[in-house]
Amino acid sequence: MTSFNFEIPSIETDSLILRAPLESDLDALEAFNKTERSHLIGGPLDRANCWRVISNGIGHWALRGFGMWHIHHKGDDRMIGACGFIFREGWDEPELGWNVHDGYEGKSIAFEAASAARAYGAKHFDLDGVISYIVPENHRSIALATRLGATFERAGNLLGEAANIYRHPRIGDVQ
């Protein structure tokens, strides 16, 4: 019998807390997955599949030792997005990914979360110089990746869908 004993660390920034996925995030995740924005990352999803996203996220941490954090604004316990690392079966290498729920975009939340996650991943998970898969139509994520210092590496695909691959600089190379 295999047993799992793992901890999902929290990261605190000036205005955000990145923490483990919790079942209490289900309402916020369901609300996000009713929006057009969720289509860029595999939505829309019904409530049962949103619950599966949470349980899969915890499973990713158990299997890989890293994963996605849920983003919370300090002083508000509502989930407002997700950010972290994904490395699923069939992927080229670990990815730094992010999403921010409606009403929270354009406020540097994704930049703050992705910067913190990337630095933490480099220091604690040996995930430095990672990639981001971004669908060509997702101009906001392309702008964010560029702002983070990532550069277009190549056109590719992810699970049979077109995706551009952006390479993030190694943390020691970030000015």
Structural domain harbouring 84: 11-127
Angle between helix 109-124 and 139-147 (nearest 10):
50
Is residue 147 one of the residues assigned to a domain? no
Is residue 145 one of the residues assigned to a domain? no
Give this prediction's pTM. 0.91
Is residue 25 one of the residues assigned to a domain? yes
Q: Report how far residue 107's alpha carbon sits from residue 97's, in angstroms, rounded to the nearest whole number.
A: 17
Is residue 45 one of the residues assigned to a domain? yes
Q: Report how far residue 21's alpha carbon sits from residue 82's, in angstroms, rounded to the nearest whole number.
A: 9
Domain count, the chain: 1
The 10s digit of each residue's pLDDT in 31-89 is 988 877 666 556 688 899 889 999 999 999 999 999 999 999 987 878 999 999 999 98
Task: Kindly report the CATH number assigned to the domain that includes residue 56.
Answer: 3.40.630.30
Is residue 173 one of the residues assigned to a domain? no
The 10s digit of each residue's pLDDT in 151-163 is 999 999 887 888 9
Closest CA to 112 of 44, 18, 9, 38: 18
